[in-house]
Structure 1
């Protein structure tokens, strides 16, 4: 009886050991050819003013807590996007809000009182009215003693149409800052009029409802939302160790916090290779997922990435990061 137990235990151990070895070999990056290319650099809101991230809530006015300015650009403007591409960005991200006349204003906040000299919300204004505002009005680095951009942002809030016309051959990531499915429908109507070649350069992310509405109308467009992220990553965590790629992970975009990334099967090289074959773009963001706008903004941040990393990098300081790679 004891001998039988030993045999069973021995076989069980061997099976478990074989399974562990199989999982290791199937997900190890040791046997994947390391990428020789450069990582993809994404400039968050173009070349923008940065601010202290500590204690930020959903209603925090970040314009009131910027660092001392090191450049003259304001986020989400054509000038800041152009500067980001000139600095070496491969992709520029920008935010959109619907207006009273059913256009999309390129602006981060849904209210305008923090950054501008106006009050209310973007959807209460026409695009022409929003252009009369000074988008640099509220920026201060010294608690309100000085406002270095006041008077310099009049007419600088662009429409999404202007951005798309200005950069027809550049990769852009559009952030829908609402949960209104009607915005996804309207955005689909706008983007469907673009040449197919330009559509292929675009990706859109945002609230679950507008992204679902957009995807229904433009199924070939690369999109991302919390729902699409969960659908892909939960499926991948459960079966990815086998090498199987869930359908939810195909032709999409994933923003992966760097503290969570090592938990993914095959991270980094095997994972990146699988996602590339599935036509899915990977962007790594700083932190643990509590704030998906955290960027790799310094040399010390970059040192946290795996050696020879060739996926996407989210940065708020493309002017600092691009020279490290380009």
Structure 2
């Protein structure tokens, strides 16, 4: 008899625990405010391409869709267009140069997109300024190059971008895993007196991101290490409502196939992250190759009332659908 009573009590406690976990992480009681997602424009406005078969060696400029606009990603005109169309933040890529600058450009090498050759960071900014960043784009296997000649001199420095948009938010992608690069970027940003560093965030390799955060502790950062540290610990204890330290004052990029496993996603999870000053960015698919929410069908996969950021490669297409709902 005593064993039965003990087992009943254990069963009751277990049921109460399950009930608590459900109620504490349910979105049923969330009071929606009709907020809409905020938009992160990947490299501003750029030419897009099919994602099937993409690898780290793929030259994506040689497989673009037929251009629907004239913009080349990671250029100031493309960023102006992105903000004009409704981007809340623009992502850009940087490489240190031989003369102490940071060039805004996507690829590790120049051969795919430009009329230059070699490793991007092995050039001076003066040399990079002579290149045509629209040189390599083709939608028909090399029959025509619709952007060739349109990108001469358009590779900007990071300072030029931040000076041109002094009060706009940017997400900086560090393309290496070199600790020294993080230190150099921190020094570079600290020397820009006319730039609001509070508007900036960064992601990239573990080593440069750690170095950048140590030098500029107020900046939001993310690396694979910081992301895993946050998400794994949250999956373990987040059901209680407790937010691990690794999830505070940071930034997390959540692949859509991971998001449903997060306690309280979307609304309660988002509220918890906002309460600890953490920015949430939802990325499409596995988030491996900059997949974005780029058309009306993609938007159907975003949960109702989600009001964090979503990653898009076509802010011109998505913004009217999101902002006018």
Q: TM-score, normalised by structure 1?
A: 0.97
Pick from 37, 48, 51 the counterpart of residue 49 of structure 2: 51
Q: Which residue does the alignment assign to 2:154?
A: 156
Q: Which residue does the alignment assign to 2:313?
A: 316
Q: Which residue does the alignment assign to 1:208?
A: 206
**1:294 offset after TM fit, Å?**
0.8
- For these two proteins, the number of residue pairs brought into alignment is 323
Q: Which residue does the alignment assign to 1:144?
A: 142
Q: Is the 8 A contact 2:86 2:315 kept in 1?
A: yes
Find the aligned partners of 2:50 and 2:144 in 1 and give their Cα distance: 18
Q: Is the 8 A contact 1:255 1:292 kept in 2?
A: no
**1:194 offset after TM fit, Å?**
3.6
Give structure 1 stretches of 5+ with no counterpart: none
Find the aligned partners of 1:44 and 1:108 in 2 and give their Cα distance: 11
Find the aligned partners of 1:115 and 1:41 in 2 and give their Cα distance: 26
Find the aligned partners of 1:8 and 1:292 in 2 and give their Cα distance: 53
Q: Is the 8 A contact 1:41 1:314 kept in 2?
A: yes
Which runs of structure 2 are paired with 1:132-281 in the superposition (5 Å)?
132-195=130-193, 198-281=196-279
2:196 alignment partner, SS class: helix
1:29 alignment partner, SS class: coil
Q: Which residue does the alignment assign to 2:15?
A: 17
Runs of 4+ off more than 4 Å: none
Find the aligned partners of 1:185 and 1:65 in 2 and give their Cα distance: 36
Q: Is the 8 A contact 2:183 2:215 kept in 1?
A: yes
Q: Is the 8 A contact 1:100 1:122 kept in 2?
A: no
Pick from 279, 294, 299 the counterpart of residue 297 of structure 1: 294
Q: Which residue does the alignment assign to 2:35?
A: 37
**1:197 offset after TM fit, Å?**
7.3
Q: Is the 8 A contact 1:286 1:292 kept in 2?
A: no
Q: Which residue does the alignment assign to 1:70?
A: 68
Q: Is the 8 A contact 1:94 1:106 kept in 2?
A: yes
Give structure 2 stretches of 5+ with no counterpart: none
**1:195 offset after TM fit, Å?**
4.9
Find the aligned partners of 2:10 and 2:289 in 1 and give their Cα distance: 43
**1:324 offset after TM fit, Å?**
1.1
CA deviation digits over 1:38-60, x for unaligned, max 9?
32111000000001111111111
Q: TM-score, normalised by structure 2?
A: 0.97
Find the aligned partners of 1:257 and 1:35 in 2 and give their Cα distance: 24
CA deviation digits over 1:171-222, x for unaligned, max 9?
1111011111111011001111345971111101111111011011011111
Find the aligned partners of 2:269 and 2:257 in 1 and give their Cα distance: 15
Find the aligned partners of 2:27 and 2:257 in 1 and give their Cα distance: 18
**1:36 offset after TM fit, Å?**
3.1
